[in-house]
Amino acid sequence: MTSLSRREFIKTSIAATTAATAGFTVSQAALAQASAAEAGWKWDKGVCRFCGVGCGEQVATFDGKIVAIKGDPDAPVNRGLNCIKGYFNGRILYGEDRLTRPLMRMKGGKFDKDGDFVPVTWDQALDEIAAQFKRIYKAKGPSAVAMLTSGQSLVSEGYITNKLIKAGFRSNNIDPNARLCMASAVVAFYQCFGVDEPANCYDDFELADTTVLWSNNMAEAHPILWSRVTDHRLADKNSRIINVTTYRNMCSDISDLEIIYKPNTELAILNYIAREMVKRNAVNMDFVNKHCIFATGPVDIGFGMRPTDKFAFPAEKDTLAKQLNYTIDKYEAIAQRRPDMAGKSIEQKDAGRADAHWHITFDEYKRGIEPYTLDFVAELAKGDPSESLDAFKKKLQQLADYYIADKSKKIMSLWCMGVNQHVRGVWVNQQIYALHLLLGKHGTPGNGAFSLTGQPTACGTAREVGTFCHRLPSDMLVANPAHREKTEKIWKLPPKTLNPRVGTALMMALRGLEDGSVNFVWTQTVNLWQSVPNTNHWLKAARNKENFVVVADAYPTLSGKVADVILPAAMIFEKWGMFGNAERRMQCWRQLVNAPGQARPDAWMMLEFAKRFTLKEVWGELPLPGLKVEGFPDDKLPSVLEEAKKMGYNENMTLYEALFATPENKKFKWPDPIAKGTENSIVNLLGDGWFVEKALFEEYRPFTFGGHDLAPFDMYYDDKVRGLRWPIIDGKETKWRFSEGNDPFVKAGEGYNFHGKLLKAIPSGDLDGVKDTTPKPLPGKAKIFFRPYAGYPEKLDKNYDLQLCTGRILEHWHTGSMTRRVPELHRTAPTATLDMNPADAQARGLKHQDLAWVETRRGKIKMIVNTRGRNKMPPGTIWAAFFDEGVQVNQLTLDAADPLSLEPDYKKAAAKVYKA
Amino acid sequence: MSAIDRRQFLIRTAQMAGVAACVAAVWSPLVRGQAHAAAHALRPPGALPEEDFMALCLKCGQCVKACPFKTLKLATVADHAPTGTPYFIARETPCEMCVDVPCVPVCPSGALDRSLTDITKARMGLPVIDREICLSFRGLRCEVCYRVCPVRGKAITLNIVHNEDTNRHARFEPVINSEHCTGCGICEKACPTEESSIRVLRHQFVQGKLGEHYSPSLGEDFKIQDIRQGTDIAKELNPGDKRQAAPGVGYFNQPGGREGIIPGAKP
Amino acid sequence: MTEKQEGMVSPQKNTAVRHFQMPDTLAGKLRVWRFLIARRIVQVGVLILFIGTLQWGWTLFNRLVLTGNMSSSRLLDIIPLSDPFAVLQLIASLHWPHTDALIGAAIVLVFYLLVGGRVFCAWTCPVNMVADLAGWVREKLGIRSLFIVPSKTRYWALLLTLLLSFILGVAAFEWVSPIAIMHRELIYGIGLGFIAVLGIFIFDLLIMARGWCGHLCPLGAFWSIVGRTAQIRVAFDDASCTRCGDCVKECPEPSVLSFKEAAQHGMVRSGECTNCGKCIVVCPENSLSFNLRACIRTCSSSQSAHGSTS
């Protein structure tokens, strides 16, 4: 490295290493330079920080910095490739404005809600947070505090935060941004299969004959997977790709069939396909009889909005009113078998029991899908006004044909946010499963309905560790006494420590800040005030006098602006970490570099926070107004201190000692041979010599036994291992679930066993309701749901005449807080534009590149009109990405949500556009 | 006029001519050097062929003022373009391809051709891709150039091929099609590699030319092969269509046939 | 030197000769500077209009005030204006410009035909300010010219410009014109082109007095030819003139001030006169003034008839 400048050195090395992995030839001189340059580098395995695909990476460090990144040639997902975000994965650590000091609003040397941000020490910050937490906690109890985390939080971080708030603070108010992303998929998994996990895996992309994308722009949202799907289309000339979407996107480029439908009407299209299956005798009756039952649930369940307009903006009130009473149109009336109700207002009486469901007969199911004829569905669902009805009908028929094709043809249905972020997202998930179950094509190689995930560890952390307000680790539920008992046992808690009441979901927590039911919020690895819909409310609410908001992040974000304390967080390779991707693959990495300045891992913040609480402060009697649960006193959580003393706890012990640095955990000593000389800043900062990540992983592992079995910590760190797909039984990973020969939990001779344990006994009835309330068990069976077509609360009208859909682009990750800090990525897409049909633009006196106001009932923002955008919008629909801090699209979106999953619908808001 | 006067006059005239010649000798290369300096500079849309453009351009900058994106600049002596002429640097500020092409009609001299009213007809240059550096050619999912292209799917298409190196992924190789590319340079600006792997140059530096004696019989219209080529989804898998496997089957199976021909059958 | 002598060769008068004295009062001084101030206002004003329109989008009646630069521009978004000499070069290079440029050139040409061709030089051209500054410094430092070429040289330059345009196929002067460069760079941003402006300053200061504007500039030559039909002229009242010669001393184009000719026609007739007004303000007898050619002719014809008898 004598004559070579550092810059050149890094440059040539990246070039040479990437070239070598991709099989390119580079000149000998460049290679020689590169190897000379690489002399001091240390390569180690890593995982891409971004989407749910979970690409493996190799990361080179030198002199305490990440100097190069390459796709890991041994990673089965990506085999040495990356998308453009992954290519810059190492650079996101080095943005110019990394946060390096805790910042607190101060006036006169003291915390003041109205003060300006001032750098403070970690102790100052954490002490103040603890004081504020205690103030609120004492006054209002555990329901007034909330932790909002992320589908990007590490497994260890999720576990620590979850345990601290649920076992320590006895609150279930923890919810990840996976609520905004995967919650609908989760509820559908629970209701259909009794277990939250995909039955299929990525190997299926190479095995399927037909791949159907349901409102899923995989080409941009799952770049590397799309390259696999595409390659299979190339390799197998007889394979087909079908893109069912509300607008033409990049997937259409190679799709054999593109179906543009009107938002929300996939509910009708899916029922049409089911009806065709029945009509054409294509239902696999043998499979259905043996392994499935039919079910349905209530229809008038509202739209997950507040039942009151007390906090609404004046313009919002009419939309909000639909939570209570909703007028159905003629299509909904027909689809819901009440044609005489068309145009009538219907009370949403089942809003409180949206998740109820019950057995129905196959005949009832058939009665349910009967209205979904081709004529009816085509007229309702056609999404491109310029397309002829006949052409659209033909396409729908072809779609049905592909599903119904003979048994030897393998079919995969893929979806992600287009289905999940939907006022009836759970229903759509269930309808897709229904198609595959009716065909008996699920969970086998090349066959299945596969729910893709959006975030790198939505599956691994948020769902598996259970950082949701209703969950405990590994598919257990807080509302289930047996699950609480099991958890209390593993966590060595006195009985009744765990709060039996489901906490506030993410949207509810933010609404809580507005209505005063929640006063303390701490966010981790998430930029909620940009990413949650209808942000104008929450931006204001965060600043309410009585509220205290803590934002832990690596970079300045909009959320930080409304916070009271900002904590500088360590990022990806600055800590030991583990992610779980969409195909149940858990992957890990070591801490490769140190965080800059005083930036520290979220897990350390939690542990340090835990040190500030003694057991007597949190395990005594706590107010919990409204609590009415069997075995618990009304309106409060009982004191468990006496029991705790019996178990050997001391009431002056800190939560850190009681929950984390337990004698068992302290047996995992640092340093550990698997570290191979790498650092562990959490261990260094704590200074008490135990290997936090390993100890807590091994504590967590027993939760997973019996279905989600994880391998020992060290196995993931083995040099040869590139992640493992759980359950790992006898050291072997599992690719497909529920089918014999694939799933180790299915016994020989069973063929299939839907062995999920949740919601496995339900009442019976018909399409209109429960007739027999006695729970009828359905062991080993999956549920085929009938779900009708239903509308959405904010339909277009003369004033708001455009459907606003939002989403992601390939170049940026979420709110852009990381990717926009990489200049090269920033230049690829510097600003979010408004994709619009040229005819719509022209009708409003707008042309490409004009500045326009986009206005909904909730706010208005200026955007640049883009009629040449990457997405070709049909007339009537507009599209915008949410990555751009300068263009707050979520000030426009509606916070209506699926009432079952409470996942908001980002894809449908009525908007108007006019010249700015 | 006396003989001496005439002689004086002739000498004087010759002297003046000599001076003029000397001045011209310095002046001409200066002009030529200026007018032909840095011929890679990209011109506004509608610019005439360079020779004519250079001759007609009055260097008034009205096109610069008309450009709403501050793309166009007037070259100063230090810039990589002939002094005073309008040009743009794609990597810094590309042409945004305004629908109404505001820069062209303001040109007083006609150096920008006013017959250009459809911006997609502009031909400012043609990009070349460094296939050795381009990430998409390496199999990475980049294709930023393709997605930002205002004439996407025409000017830049994706050649989708199997990636032998991974044997599991497809490569999405961007390909430039001169027939549709306007040379706006948005791709060059957006390219995420440290130095852009796609660069817009003037056509003369990019385009080859076949000998006039040769008339190509194959591959005249170079087109990306669509991986869907040959797919007729209407024909496959459709049970309704299966019945039409032989001539006449469709006709005979039509319920009722032509109206009223078969008594009792539904039309 | 010859120019001045030529001016001096005039019949002596018997009246006592008074010379110009700079007034002591500010009002008096301002009176003396009135044309200078007006010219600077026009020169800078035009520049500011261009800059304001470009940089800050100045509008009048919702239209952009003045876009472009002196080579070609557009007034109020509609009226084209072009430098006729530049357009002439285009034509000489065998390129036929768009009608806008031709109309623009015609408008400008007609304007200067009326007000005096070289009014451009004194009232609009930004280089004039550089030349005047060089002249002023030169006076203060007492620098003498290294050499001098005939002021007619500019006509050769003009001829050469057109010839080179024809041969090279491009507008020859436009590519090197320090006037265009200076103006363009003042409006669109200063670059290395300003070296040319500096060159003129140094040339005028150290090498040849009024070298560029007074002797070499082909654009000046072009406007001189155009200026022959100017309707605004400096009128000369022979009766009050004492032949003190102050006007000639002050004149940037001394050859235009021939008492004999001025006396004969009652005005300065030469196209090379820039109508700068310097002579008018220094004349102690107020013998000089701006007037319309038509008006002067009627007066002077009677005068000359009268004069010829004496």
Q: What is the CATH number of the domain that holds A69?
A: 3.30.200.210
The mean per-residue pLDDT over the stretch A456-474 comes to: 93
pLDDT score at A606: 97
Indicate the DSSP class of residue B131.
T
Look at residues A60, A89, A118 and tell me which one is the last residue of a structural domain.
A89
Q: In whole angstroms, give the CA distance from residue A84 to residue A92.
A: 12
A836-876: pLDDT as tens digits: 999 999 999 999 999 999 999 999 999 999 999 899 999 99
A79-95: pLDDT as tens digits: 999 999 999 999 999 99
Cα dist from A812 to A219, A454, A776, whole Å: 14, 13, 48
Residue A497 contacts by C-beta under 8 Å, 6 or more apart in sequence? A167, A170, A488, A619, A640
A215-239: pLDDT as tens digits: 999 999 999 999 999 999 999 888 9
Please check whether residue A566 is in contact with residue A553, taking contact to mean a CB–CB distance below 8 angstroms.
Answer: yes
Residue B177 contacts by C-beta under 8 Å, 6 or more apart in sequence? B154, B155, B156, B157, B222
Measured N-to-C along each axis, helices A389-404 and A374-381 cross at an angle, to the nearest 10 degrees, of 120
Looking at chain C, the whole-number percentage of residues with pLDDT higher than 70 is 89
C216-260: pLDDT as tens digits: 888 888 988 888 888 888 888 877 788 888 888 878 887 777 777
B-chain CB neighbours of C163 within 8 Å are 24
User: Which of A92, A857, A104, A884 lies closest to A534 in space, CA to CA?
Assistant: A857
B213 CB within 8 Å of a chain A CB: no
B200 band by pLDDT with thresholds 50, 70 and 90: very high
B222 band by pLDDT with thresholds 50, 70 and 90: low
Q: Is the dihedral of CA A70, A74, A80, A84 positive or negative?
A: negative
Residue A435 belongs to a domain: yes
B20 CB within 8 Å of a chain C CB: yes
A81·B169 Cβ contact <8 A: yes
End-to-end CA distance of chain B: 116
User: For residue A383, is pLDDT > 50?
Assistant: yes
Residues A19 and A120 in one domain: no
A350 band by pLDDT with thresholds 50, 70 and 90: very high
User: For residue A407, is pLDDT > 90?
Assistant: no
User: For residue A28, is pLDDT > 60?
Assistant: no
User: For residue A19, is pLDDT > 60?
Assistant: no
The pTM is what? 0.87
B52 band by pLDDT with thresholds 50, 70 and 90: confident
User: For residue C301, is pLDDT > 80?
Assistant: no
A849·B192 Cβ contact <8 A: no
- Bridge partners (DSSP) of residue A718 are none
B252 band by pLDDT with thresholds 50, 70 and 90: low
The mean per-residue pLDDT over the stretch A191-202 comes to: 94
Equal fold, B24-121 vs B125-207: yes
User: Which of B189, B188, B207, B206 lies closest to B198 in space, CA to CA?
Assistant: B188
Residue with tokens 């920033």: A826
A vs B, Cβ pairs < 8 A, gives: 150
Please check whether residue A149 is in contact with residue A160, taking contact to mean a CB–CB distance below 8 angstroms.
Answer: no
User: For residue A112, is pLDDT > 50?
Assistant: yes
Please, which chains are in contact with B (at least 3 CB pairs closer than 8 A)? Answer: A, C
Measured in whole angstroms, how far is the alpha carbon of residue A516 from the centre of its chain? Answer: 27
pLDDT score at C168: 82
Residue A642 contacts by C-beta under 8 Å, 6 or more apart in sequence? none
B148·A235 Cβ contact <8 A: no
pLDDT score at A145: 96
- H-helix or E-strand spanning residue A59: strand A56-62
Give the three-class secondary structure for A74: coil
B160 CB within 8 Å of a chain A CB: yes
Q: How many domains does chain A have?
A: 4
User: For residue B56, is pLDDT > 60?
Assistant: yes
Q: Is the dihedral of CA A665, A667, A670, A676 positive or negative?
A: negative
C-chain CB neighbours of B52 within 8 Å are 95
B131 CB within 8 Å of a chain A CB: no
pLDDT score at C68: 86
Given the residues A304, A440, A454, A723, the one annotated as active site = A454
| Residue of B14 and A765 predicted with greater confidence | A765
Please, which chains are in contact with C (at least 3 CB pairs closer than 8 A)? Answer: B
pLDDT score at C305: 44
pLDDT score at C215: 83
A79: containing domain:
6-89
User: For residue A3, is pLDDT > 60?
Assistant: no
A522-533: pLDDT as tens digits: 999 999 999 999
Q: In whole angstroms, give the CA distance from residue C144 to residue C134.
A: 12
Amino acid type, A85: K
Reduced DSSP (H G I as helix, E B as strand, rest coil) percent helix, strand, coil of chain B, to 5 = 30, 10, 60
User: For residue B253, is pLDDT > 70?
Assistant: no
C307 band by pLDDT with thresholds 50, 70 and 90: very low
Residues A167 and A295 in one domain: no
C-chain CB neighbours of B115 within 8 Å are none
Give the three-class secondary structure for A896: coil
The mean per-residue pLDDT over the stretch A680-699 comes to: 96
Residues A67 and A12 in one domain: yes
Please report the DSSP string for A378-415 in residue order. HHHHB--TTS-HHHHHHHHHHHHHHHHS-TTS-EEEEE
End-to-end CA distance of chain A: 56
B-chain CB neighbours of A809 within 8 Å are 147
Chain A: residue whose CA lies nearest to B135 = A84
B-chain CB neighbours of A404 within 8 Å are 239
Least confident span in A21-30, A307-316, A530-539, C267-276: A21-30
Degrees to nearest 5, angle at CA B168 with B163 and B169: 55
Partner C, chain B 30-69, Cβ-Cβ below 8 Å: 30-32, 34-35, 51-52, 54-56, 58-62, 64-66
Query: Which of B144, B164, B239 faces A84 most closely, judged by CB atoms?
Result: B144
pLDDT score at A2: 42
Pairing of strands A240-245, A325-327: unpaired
C100-156: pLDDT as tens digits: 889 999 999 888 888 888 888 888 888 888 888 888 888 888 888 777 777 788 888
Query: Which of B96, B99, B141 faces A224 most closely, judged by CB atoms?
Result: B141
Given the residues A70, A85, A694, A735, the one annotated as active site = A85
C-chain CB neighbours of B114 within 8 Å are 98
Look at residues A89, A111, A129 and tell me which one is the last residue of a structural domain.
A89
Mutation target among B70, B169, B198 for the A interface, most CBs of A within 10 A = B169
Residue C286 contacts by C-beta under 8 Å, 6 or more apart in sequence? C237, C240
B-chain CB neighbours of A87 within 8 Å are 135, 140, 142, 192
Alpha-helix residue ranges (DSSP H) falling in B156-236 = 186-190, 203-206
User: Which of A285, A89, A770, A196 lies closest to A463 in space, CA to CA?
Assistant: A196
Burial class (CB in 10 A: 0-12, 13-18, 19+), A663: exposed
pLDDT score at A871: 93
Give the three-class secondary structure for A116: strand
Region class of A584: left (phi > 0), else alpha (psi between -120 and 50), else beta:
left
B224 band by pLDDT with thresholds 50, 70 and 90: low
pLDDT score at C33: 84
Does domain B125-207 fall under CATH 3.30.70.20? My reply is: yes
Chain A: residue whose CA lies nearest to B158 = A253
pLDDT score at C3: 41
User: For residue A619, is pLDDT > 70?
Assistant: yes
User: Which of A397, A267, A264, A266 lies closest to A910 in space, CA to CA?
Assistant: A264
C299 band by pLDDT with thresholds 50, 70 and 90: low
Cα dist from C145 to A176, A225, A700, C6, C203, whole Å: 85, 81, 96, 19, 10
Pairing of strands A292-296, B198-201: unpaired
**Known catalytic membership, residue A455:** yes
Token readout for A258 is 């593109």
The mean per-residue pLDDT over the stretch A579-588 comes to: 94
Residue with tokens 């679930």: A737
User: Which of A405, A385, A425, A441 lies closest to A215 in space, CA to CA?
Assistant: A425
Given the residues A191, A348, A430, A455, the one annotated as active site = A455
| Backbone dihedral angles phi then psi of residue C180, each to the nearest 5 degrees | -60, -40
User: For residue A666, is pLDDT > 50?
Assistant: yes
Domain extents in chain B: 24-121, 125-207
| Backbone dihedral angles phi then psi of residue C250, each to the nearest 5 degrees | -85, -25
C176·B56 Cβ contact <8 A: no
Residue A608 contacts by C-beta under 8 Å, 6 or more apart in sequence? A122, A126, A656, A685
Token readout for A343 is 């145009």
Least confident span in A24-33, A135-144, A224-233, C22-31: A24-33
A233·B227 Cβ contact <8 A: yes
Token readout for C50 is 């261009």
Distance from CA of B27 to the nearest CA of C (A): 8
User: For residue A4, is pLDDT > 50?
Assistant: no
B-chain CB neighbours of C90 within 8 Å are 55-56, 58, 109
Chain A: residue whose CA lies nearest to B168 = A228
B227·A254 Cβ contact <8 A: yes
Given the residues A83, A147, A182, A818, the one annotated as active site = A182
Q: In whole angstroms, give the CA distance from residue B128 to residue B136.
A: 14
B175 CB within 8 Å of a chain A CB: no
Amino acid type, A763: P
User: For residue B267, is pLDDT > 70?
Assistant: no
B259 band by pLDDT with thresholds 50, 70 and 90: very low
Q: Which CATH number fits domain C2-8+18-34+231-309: 1.20.1740, 3.30.70, 3.40.50, 1.25.10?
A: 3.30.70
Q: In whole angstroms, give the CA distance from residue A816 to residue A803.
A: 24
C188·B73 Cβ contact <8 A: yes
Residue A97 belongs to a domain: no
pLDDT score at C14: 52
The mean per-residue pLDDT over the stretch B78-106 comes to: 89
Residue A24 belongs to a domain: yes
Cα dist from A203 to A230, A725, A744, A876, whole Å: 13, 12, 18, 38
Indicate the DSSP class of residue A215.
S
Chain B: residue whose CA lies nearest to A408 = B237
Chain B: residue whose CA lies nearest to C67 = B62
| Residue of B232 and A727 predicted with greater confidence | A727
pLDDT score at B94: 95
pLDDT score at A26: 47
Q: Which CATH number fits domain B24-121: 3.40.50, 3.10.350, 3.30.2010, 3.30.70?
A: 3.30.70
User: For residue C72, is pLDDT > 60?
Assistant: yes
pLDDT score at A506: 95
Mutation target among C58, C72, C152 for the B interface, most CBs of B within 10 A = C72
Q: In whole angstroms, give the CA distance from residue B196 to residue B177.
A: 19
pLDDT score at A576: 96
The mean per-residue pLDDT over the stretch A727-731 comes to: 92
Residue with tokens 């058939």: A366
Taking all residues of chain A, what is their mean pLDDT, rounded to a whole number? 93
Token readout for A687 is 């200074």
Residues A881 and A851 in one domain: yes
B76·C156 Cβ contact <8 A: no
Please check whether residue C53 is in contact with residue C134, taking contact to mean a CB–CB distance below 8 angstroms.
Answer: no
